[in-house]
Chain A
Amino acid sequence: RTLGPSGKEEAVDYLLQYGYLQKPLEGPDDFKPEDIMEALRAFQEASELPVSGELDDATRARMRQPRCGLEDPFNQKTLK
């Protein structure tokens, strides 16, 4: 699936796949907005992008770049 204009769902998939976001062990499956923002901030910081917590174009473009399939250890909370 390409990161289309909305792309929010794909972005969350990306953050989940690469370790920036972690599914809560119990409770509802969907993520709290503040968790998503924190994960986006971690991704933006690690990608040397402006850290806004918002899914902006630069962040989307970065998520589209070819990469390794292993997770990233950059979100301290999920890493812990």
Chain B
Amino acid sequence: YLLLGRWRKKHLTFRILNLPSTLPPHTARAALLQAFQYWSNVAPLTFREVQAGWADIRLSFHGRQSPYCSNSFDGPGRVLAHADIPELGSVHFDEDELWTERTYRGVNLRIIAAHELGHALGLGHSRYTQALMAPVYAGYRPHFKLHPDDVAGIQALYGKKSPETEDEEEEMELPTVPHVPTEPSPMPDPCSGELDAVMLGPRGKTYAFKGNYVWTVTDSGLGPLFQVSALWEGLPGNLDAAVYSPRTQWIHFFKGDKVWRYINFKMSPGFPKKLNRVDPHLDAALYWPFNKKVFLFKGSGYWQWDELARTDFSHYPKPIKGLFTGVPDQPSAAMGWRDGHVYFFKGKQYWRLNQQLRVEKGYPRDTAHNWMHCRPQTSDNTPLGGNTTPSGTDNSAIGTNLDTTSSAIDTTLN
């Protein structure tokens, strides 16, 4: 065995962020829970599931494109899963695999999950081809149990599980958070076209926020919906505004009279802070690359904020229409996008502004159809992409839908 790292604590929390579509949820969950047990049976480790907020180990399924993982997967076969070593805690499975349980068909989720948890706990790959930590999947084994090399490896990291520690451990075990459905609050429908906030985030990813959830908008469809707090720990849902500034790498989220600051997914110390120099309950925020300023909107007014200087707000708020010609008051969201245009969203519609910050002809248009890949006027209004693989989506069609000269958007989106 090879040791790659170690947790400095033996009581770890975990969170299952989503499940594969090829297994009933309860079967998939049981397989993942059993995977933890292989390790807690042989080492003084305990694992407690949490349904919200931060967890040491986070399990999720993603496909070829994932805004949260730099290692994309490769479709059915070949790479099945990967995981970070301690103390990072991410465990990812390829959602395109045929995940199964108690059958020789497909790939056994329990065994692969136990393997990846081995990595998450600090084990590297084993030279024994029949060991759980062998790099190549040896197929489903009805009476699967850990190989002596696996046990030796985990005990080299965390010690042995002796009977008395067992008792002691059990007493110490925290009560498991009562099981609640993995989606504690109603999931919004991206095809409603209504947004709380929208943001062009780091690495050019476009995020849409609604209620307690966030998803990415890509040229091939929508990313899976995640709870906001699953990505940005400590962030509440139902945001007022969100803005990312490439100038400072800061992401600011606004809600009520508070502002949160993150760098990527890590909250900056001292936040949230109280908003005291601009009005609470903002409507929207955007970053405009042309003057490298952040604009905050509320009602019919806006503030222009220089993040790196002490801005004199005495002349603010100024009328929105004075600078942004043709946009509605009280926008629900706004962003400067990577095509150089500024977009305002309100209700189910959006407005596009040119570089002179003037709304272009032909606006407003329908957000659900043009941004969320929703099919218009069909009874089944599920968005293309997202949890369903886009079927036969013609990018150039998307390009033309995402109004502007298709070549501009095509190049941008594609």
Which residues of A approach B to under 8 Å, CB–CB?
18, 46-48, 62, 64-74
Task: List 6 extra interface pairs beyond A47-B129, A70-B135, CB under 8 A.
Answer: A48-B129, A66-B80, A67-B137, A68-B80, A68-B81, A68-B119
Q: Across the interface, which residues of A come within 8 angstroms of B135, CB to CB?
A: 18, 67-68, 70, 72
Is the CB–CB distance between A72 and B82 below 8 Å?
Answer: no
Tell me if B129 and A68 are in contact (CB < 8 A): no
CA distance A69 to B127 in the complex (A): 16
Residues of A within 8 A of B78 (CB): 64, 66-67
Give which listed residue, B81, B136, B137, contacts A47 with CB less than 8 A.
B136
Interface residues of B toward A: which range? 20 to 34
Asked if B125 contacts A65 (CB within 8 A), the reply is no
In contact, B2 and A73 (Cβ under 8 angstroms): yes
Within 8 Å CB of B107, what residues of A?
Answer: 66
B125 touches A72 (CB 8 A): yes
Neighbouring A residues of B129 by C-beta, 8 Å? 46-48
Number of A-B residue pairs, CB cutoff 8 Å, is: 57
* Secondary structure dominating the interface of A: loop
Residues of A within 8 A of B115 (CB): 68
| A69, B136: Cβ atoms closer than 8 Å | no
Q: How far is the CA of A70 from the CA of B175 in the complex (A)?
A: 33
Enumerate chain B residues within 8 angstroms of A73, measured Cβ to Cβ.
Answer: 2, 124-125
Give the distance to chain B from A75, nearest Cβ to Cβ, in Å.
12
B82, A66: Cβ atoms closer than 8 Å:
no
Determine how close the nearest CB of chain A comes to the CB of B279; give it in whole angstroms: 48
CB pair B125–A68 under 8 Å, yes or no, is yes
Q: How far is A74 from B134 in the complex, measured between Cα atoms in Å?
A: 11
| Closest Cβ–Cβ distance, residue B274 to chain A (whole Å) | 44
Q: Is B77 an interface residue (CB 8 A)?
A: yes
* Contact B77 A66, beta carbon cutoff 8 Å: yes
Q: Could you list which residues of chain B lie within 8 angstroms of chain A, going by C-beta atoms?
A: 2, 71, 73, 77-83, 97, 107, 112, 115-116, 119, 124-125, 127, 129, 135-137
Return the contact of A67 from the options B2, B71, B73, B80 (Cβ within 8 A): B80
A70 touches B83 (CB 8 A): yes
B2 near A68: Cβ-Cβ < 8 Å: no
- Residues from chain B with Cβ under 8 Å of A62 in the complex: 136
Q: How far, in Å, is A21 (CB) from chain B's closest CB?
A: 15
Contacts of B125 in A (CB 8 A): 68, 70-74
Closest CB in chain B relative to A15 CB, distance in Å: 13
A69 interface neighbour in B2, B77, B81, B124, Cβ under 8 Å = B81
State in angstroms the CA–CA spacing of A66 and B116 once bound together: 14
Known contacts A47-B129, A48-B129, A74-B127: A69-B137 contact under CB 8 Å = no
Task: List 19 A–B pairs whose Cβ atoms lie within 8 Å, in order of A's numbering.
Answer: A46-B127, A46-B129, A47-B129, A47-B136, A64-B77, A66-B79, A68-B79, A68-B82, A68-B112, A68-B119, A68-B125, A68-B137, A69-B81, A69-B82, A70-B83, A70-B125, A73-B2, A73-B124, A74-B125
How far in angstroms is the closest Cβ of chain B from A29?
A: 22
| Contact partners of B124 in chain A: CB under 8 A | 70, 73
Contact status A66-B127, CB under 8 Å:
no
Nearest chain-A residue to B94 (Cβ)? A69
Measured in the bound complex, the distance between the Cα atoms of B12 and A8 in whole Å is 44
B79 — which chain A residues lie within 8 A by C-beta?
66-69
Cα of A40 to Cα of B136 in the assembled complex, Å: 16
